[in-house]
Amino acid sequence: MVSYFKSKPVQTVLRWQLYVTLAAAVVAGIWIGERGFMSALLGGLVNIVAHLVYAWVVSISDTRSPGAVLRTMIRAEASKIALIVTQIWMVLTTYKSVAALAFFLTFIVTVLVFSLAFIVKEKPLA
């Protein structure tokens, strides 16, 4: 079985999220300044970190039966959501000069980018 981290769709979408985050940070930096850059960067990193944890939980889990697969997916999704909520709370409480628009727009766009994983195809088996 191919590790979840090594699957082409996961690697591709995580790379896309990184590109979108960096592009949004540059645009927000030009538009708002340093705090816009940092806010957009943090907004994207919230999702990137959460999806890395999701991939890690899926990768380390036993998926020998359909029930185990379902439990793994629920555990991974719960971990991702808990981490997203925690990270958003941490950013909003510790970074007092957060540019909320840049932060949340980048966060939302990276969420949407991750949903594009279904269009990335694995290499066909030879």
**pLDDT single digits (tens) 15-59:** 889 999 999 999 999 999 999 999 999 999 999 999 899 888 888
Structure tokens at 90: 């941490």
Say how many C-beta atoms besides its own lie within 10 A of residue 124's C-beta. 5
In a domain, 111, yes or no: yes
45: amino acid identity, one letter: L
- 92 within a domain of the structure (yes/no): yes
Tokens standing for residue 82:
């808990």
Query: 1 in a domain, yes or no?
Result: no
The closest of 58, 56, 39, 50 to 17, measured between CA atoms, is 50
Q: How far is CA 3 from the centre of its chain?
A: 18
**Residue 116, pLDDT above cutoff 60:** yes
The reply to whether the predicted model has a pTM over 0.85 is no
Residue 64 in domain: yes
Mean pLDDT of 7-18: 83
Residues 6+ apart with CB under 8 A from 59: 3, 4, 5
Name the residue range of residue 51's domain: 10-118
